[in-house]
A = this chain, B = another copy of it.
Amino acid sequence: MRLRLTPRDTTFFDLFAASAQHLVTGANLLSEMLGATPAARKEINKRISEAEHLADEATHQIMRRLNQTFVTPFDRDDIYMLASALDDCMDFMDEAADLMVLYKVGELPARVADQVQVLQRCAELTAEAMPRLRSMDSLSEYWVEVNRLENQADKTFRKLLAQMFDEISDPILLLKFKEIVEALEEAADAFEKVANAVETIAVKES
């Protein structure tokens, strides 16, 4: 345990928690989108973009505070890493949603729902974990589980990719689907980066 010579700036914890809440909103909207009609998808996509804007603001607040605060609760680099990883989660989910609307795709392969389900679970776990950064309370369960989920998502992604290349003969449709599932895979990777950033912070604190 390192000596603390100064009071810690607590608002970072609240900003991280807020940022993670937007991820839960985004992931849930993404899962709604899958079963929705083209018209409904457009409308849901708008709401995801709103969540993305809010997450963006949260990130900017964190960065601004980080640059103006002399003493931070953790290493600046770790706060930066955590904030940008949280931002990436949202960006990739937003991108996937945009592409679904942009490419006017119909029903997506069944495994896409599995990808999104993992993102929903990762978002919930992340939102629950962020407030615990203050007390460093039982964070290991969180990052272990997110790493497990990301490995699962990776397997699903590769199976899905192989399946699409086997079954879809229209190369343009294949291209569209491929970009969407790749964006979802990148979102899962970003959740793992968040978990790794939290682990880094926790290890330094221990």
Task: Give the dominant DSSP class at A's interface.
Answer: helix
Select the stretch in A32-40, A60-68, A111-119 that faces chain B: A60-68
- One of B103, B165, B172 near A162 (C-beta < 8 A): B103
A128 to B161, CA, bound (A): 37
Asked whether, in the complex, the Cβ of B68 is within 8 Å of the Cβ of A158, the reply is no
A175: B residues at CB distance < 8 A? 165, 171, 174-175, 178
Cα A203 to Cα B172 in complex, Å, equals 46
Residues of A in contact with B, size category: 20 to 34
**B158 engages A165 (CB within 8 Å):** no
> Is the beta-carbon distance between A64 and B174 smaller than 8 angstroms?
no
Find the B residue at minimum CB distance from A168: B172
Task: Give bound CA distance, A103 to B64, whole Å.
Answer: 43
